[in-house]
Amino acid sequence: MSKGVSGFSKWTKSEKIRWIAEQYFADPNEGISIIERYWHADTTVQRLHDEFIENTITNYYLPFGVAPNFMINGQLLTIPMAIEESSVVAAASKSAKFWLERGGFQTEILKTLKSGQVHFTYSGDFLHLKQYFDFIQPELKKSIGAITSSMDKRGGGLQSIELIDKTEKLEHYYQLHATFDTVDAMGANFINSCLEKFAAVFKDSWTTFNPSQAEKYPVDVVMSILSNYAPECLVRASVSCPVSKLEVKGMSAQEFASKFCRAVRIAEVEPYRAVTHNKGIMNGVDAVVLATGNDFRAVEAGVHAYASRSGQYSSLTHAKIENGQFTFWMDIPLALGTVGGLTQLHPLVRLALEMLQNPDAKQLMSITAVAGLAQNFGAIGSLVTTGIQQGHMKMHLLNIANQLGADQKEKKQLVEHFKTDVVTPNAVRSVLQNIRNLDQ
């Protein structure tokens, strides 16, 4: 059996790279040269990246694009997006322009609470536990004073703490369920620190509150952790205009509006479609979440759980036509921050936030939701008219050309040619071959 490597994290960067290259790459020198090509020339920037995580060997670049013309609650913004998928920024920009001419996007912050739980096991009488919880509650709140003082000053902090009986779901399972307002911070570290304090106080004081019960029935803390399910940190984004203003190429405004609403209804009732529909929304959401240094895994997990809250996975967006008015909207949980974490640390994140006029967390929730709604509008708009492939493959053309080793001049010719023709990898290959034959 092969032995694992030990002490790896303590090796120097070049020792790690050399070891990886020799272990795994057919051509170790070629591998090392690719790794080194992505190092940053500015050693301060590189050191920052090296220290974000353990065992950094190089940087993984994503394109950082911008989508202009987003009118959000009357403010005109250019949205930064970090994403690799070729058509996303183009689709966002197209939707932004479309809605700029029709009143723009509106948003409303519905709630801003986040939660976390101390999960524990207790096999005694619930009544004793409840009496103890009522007694200890003020002490629990006091115990986190040092952690929450600056959050309290900013108008946030602990909002509530409850004892919840979960024994119907799992034998002897209880929890302390706490809600927090973390203002402009995403607040994960803050919440986790508070929860761990609650856990320690709750467990320890039980032994002094009721020593005989505590000996027989101890409070056994299993874990204390925030929840990325954030249905109480919710923003609504919407667009609305008279149906008659929804003119698109090759279809009447009325037909477009009703096909659009029908497509959304399908995503509401059919999980196979809903997943792809919501994936398109997340194309926009994740790109902004990444560009602004937020945790896209947390957002993804929370959003999809929210999309399943009825018991069936469903569309996040909704659309209706009422009295000749088309309205398209989405409620989405977005636990985001504009202070703390990467936001002050990563120069590009700082720049992205500055581009957005240094939003607070609520404004960032609005902007991110709008990016998702715009993306979904663009995707459904294409799906119910031309189909998705026309625009998608046009944007993918340069990737195919790059894969085939086309130079700048050849790429220009390919773009010209495919203004009218359908893009497929084979078609691009054959047109490129023709260009090369003609050039010989």
Nearest approach, Cβ of 291 to ligand MEV (angstroms)?
17
Q: Which of residues 380-399 bind ligand MEV (CB under 6 A)?
A: 388
Q: How many residues bind ligand MEV (CB under 6 A)?
A: 8
* Phi-psi group of 100: left, alpha or beta (phi > 0 → left; psi -120 to 50 → alpha; rest → beta): alpha
295 is catalytic: yes
CB of 63 to ligand MEV, least distance (A): 15
CB nearer to ligand MEV: give 173 or 296: 296
Provide the mask over 138-177, with x wherever binding to ligand MEV is found by CB under 6 A and - wherever it is not: ----------------------------------------
Return the range that interacts with ligand MEV (CB under 6 A); candidates 170-178, 272-280, 362-370, 407-415: 272-280
Query: Element (H or E) spanning 164, and its range?
Result: strand 157-165
Residue 280 engages ligand MEV in binding (rule: CB under 6 A): yes
- Three-state SS string over 203-241 comes to HHHHHHHCHHHHHHCCCEEEEEEECCCCCCEEEEEEEEE
Helix (H) or strand (E) holding 365: helix 361-383
Judged by beta carbon, residue 50 or residue 286, the one nearer ligand MEV is 286
User: Do 296 and 335 meet the contact criterion of CB atoms below 8 Å apart?
Assistant: no
8 A C-beta contact, residue 14 and residue 57: no
Catalytic residue among 141, 203, 279, 411: 279
> Which residues in the 74-103 window bind ligand MEV by CB under 6 A?
85
Least separation in angstroms between residue 347's CB and ligand MEV is: 29
Tell me which residue has its CB nearest to ligand MEV.
280
Cβ neighbours of residue 160 closer than 8 Å, sequence gap 6 or more: 178, 179
Measuring CA to CA, how many Å separate 268 from each of 230, 256, 282, 310, 357? 21, 18, 16, 11, 35
Name residue, tokens 């790690």.
Answer: 16
Q: Applying CB under 6 A, does 279 fall inside the site for ligand MEV? A: yes
**Does 20 help bind ligand MEV (rule: CB under 6 A)?**
no
Q: Does 379 interact with ligand MEV (rule: CB under 6 A)? A: yes
Q: Binding residue for ligand MEV (CB under 6 A) from 180, 277, 295, 330?
A: 277
CA-CA distance, 440 to 436, in Å (whole number)? 6
Interaction between residue 245 and ligand MEV (CB under 6 A): no
Piece of 97-105, 237-245, 275-283, 354-362 that binds ligand MEV (CB under 6 A) = 275-283
Q: Roughly what angle, to the nearest 10 degrees, separates helices 271-291 and 347-355?
A: 100
Q: Does 283 bind ligand MEV (CB under 6 A)?
A: yes
Cα 290 from Cα 294, distance rounded (Å): 6
CB of 231 to ligand MEV, least distance (A): 23
**Residue 29 CB, nearest approach to ligand MEV (Å):** 37
For the question of residue 279 being annotated catalytic, the response is yes
Nearest to 72 by CA among 313, 282, 393, 357: 357
How many of the other CB atoms lie within 10 Å of CB of 87? Answer: 21
239 near ligand MEV (CB under 6 A) = no
Q: Residue ranges of the alpha helices (H) in 76-167?
A: 88-100, 126-143, 145-153
Binding positions for ligand MEV, rule: CB under 6 A:
85, 276-277, 279-280, 283, 379, 388
Q: Which residues are designated catalytic?
A: 85, 279, 295, 392
